[in-house]
Structure 1
Amino acid sequence: MKSITRNHHVLIAKVNYNHFDKLFSLLEKNKIELSPLGRIKNIKRKIEWLTVRSTLIEFLGKPIEIVYDQEHKPHLSDNSTNISISHSHEMIALSLNNDINNGIDIQHLSNKIIRIKEKFLSPQELEKIDPGDVKTLTLYWSIKEALFKVYGKNDIFLKENIEVVTFCKKTMTAVGRIKTDNYFNELRLNLEIIDDYSLAYTVNS
């Protein structure tokens, strides 16, 4: 757990795919609604779903439901704080911020990012990056995904509507911009490389 400010916390957890029964029992004991599990066919996805909720219960010290709006953006059932959720391979990440709508993304490092970079980076962004730098390319992906979650709707594109304005590898910070015909927002982000994963999350200005 990282306390970014008194009102902003980032939770990182590794998924143990052998703990289905343990996680299920924990959520059942805390009276968490488990019916959504029936709609998830993949057992790994089920365990990731359970891990997110057990991590949240452990941090908050109380049971609480995660609900989704019509754009599939997560919210806590009591609206006590803003939440953003991400998972990739064996890791999950949560950002809880009492002050502002926030976004987080964790992504496993893979050479695949080199092949798809033109799909999410603008020509101007591509000029700034070594085309074979997997870590930087993946951090750019995580920045854009975190900002996409702040926006919270599915009518924008990473390449056209989300821009990495500044990126500093020395301080591991960035500034990103979301821009549409009817919406504009510019946000700071903290960045990390954790083992084989990139992490980006928005922070208060």
Structure 2
Amino acid sequence: MPLVHSEMIEETCTLLLWKLSEPETELREWLGSAYISEELNAISHPQKVREWLASRLLIKTLAEQFGIAYVGLHKDEHGKAFLIDNDSHISITHTFEFVAVALNPFAAVGIDMEKCDEKLQRTATKYLSSGEIAHAENEITRLCMYWSAKEALYKLYGKKGISFRDSIRILPFLQSAEILEGTLTDNTRLVNSKIHVRWFDQHCLAISL
């Protein structure tokens, strides 16, 4: 998989973005049979299989850059992924065209990548507050930034049952902004986050720290 982008964010978080172009057989060979899990065996859609293989291969690559012996991932009851036998925080996202991972040894991280698509206009009322809808003005680029930012913050928090519309807020931003500010509220807990935004081929990549 060709490396599209590599970046250190806020001195602690490393981001890798790869273009997903290889067939399943090649990805399986690169990853190695030792890392194939029951989770993969439960996936039937060929594209989803490729995305799963590619994301694990990229996590393995990134972990080894930090001198971490990669022995696989496990997920908690909320579906949040963790490295086995290592306390570094990771997050994974993939689309039809890209796979991206982030690793932060010191604190939680969440990433998401979304392609600009008209479906974001059709579903905006499900994930945006009334103020956010007014600010977005039904513009696909802004809607994509809102969705990716909220999804990244949701993944940083790592617990289910959070309403994107009611519990996650993104402050108004310029369309050219590279850092957004967001908050997530869960009962009495408030999580503040800086969310870094990058663009690749009409895809918005958001990294929540």
- TM-score normalised by the chain length of structure 1: 0.90
Aligned residue runs from structure 1 range 61-72, under 5 A: 61=64, 62-72=69-79
For residue 81 of structure 1, what is the amino acid of its counterpart? S
Instruction: Give the Cα separation in 2 of the matches to 1:179 and 1:37.
Output: 33
Q: Which segment is superposed worse, 3-12 or 108-117?
A: 3-12
1:107-130 deviation digits (Å, cap 9, x = unpaired): 011111111111110001112122
Residues 120 and 158 in structure 1, CA contact (< 8 A), matched pair in contact too: yes
Residue 5 of structure 1: CA displacement? Answer: 4.0
Residues 111 and 152 in structure 2, CA contact (< 8 A), matched pair in contact too: yes
Query: Is residue 195 of structure 1 aligned with residue 194 of structure 2?
Result: no
Q: Which runs of 5+ in 2 are unaligned?
A: 1-5
Computed over aligned residues only, the root mean square deviation of the Cα atoms, in angstroms, reads 1.6
Residues 142 and 198 in structure 1, CA contact (< 8 A), matched pair in contact too: yes
Aligned to 2:3: none
Alpha-carbon spacing, 1:34–1:26, altered in 2? closer, same or farther (3 Å): farther
Instruction: Give the Cα separation in 1 of the matches to 2:49 and 2:72.
Output: 16
Query: Is residue 150 of structure 1 aligned with residue 156 of structure 2?
Result: yes
Instruction: Give the Cα separation in 1 of the matches to 2:91 and 2:172.
Output: 23
Aligned residue runs from structure 1 range 1-205, under 5 A: 1-16=6-21, 18-28=22-32, 31-61=34-64, 62-131=69-138, 133-203=139-209
Residue 53 of structure 1: CA displacement? Answer: 1.2
Which 4+ stretches in 1 moved above 4 angstroms?
none
Residue 7 of structure 1: CA displacement? Answer: 2.5
Q: Which runs of 5+ in 1 are unaligned?
A: none
Residue 10 of structure 1: CA displacement? Answer: 0.9
Residue 190 of structure 1: CA displacement? Answer: 0.7
Instruction: Give the Cα separation in 1 of the matches to 2:125 and 2:173.
Output: 18
Residues 28 and 34 in structure 1, CA contact (< 8 A), matched pair in contact too: no
Residues 89 and 108 in structure 1, CA contact (< 8 A), matched pair in contact too: no
Instruction: Give the Cα separation in 1 of the matches to 2:51 and 2:144.
Output: 22
Give the % identical residues: 26
Instruction: Give the Cα separation in 2 of the matches to 1:98 and 1:166.
Output: 30
Alpha-carbon spacing, 1:122–1:48, altered in 2? closer, same or farther (3 Å): same
SS of residue matched to 1:167: coil
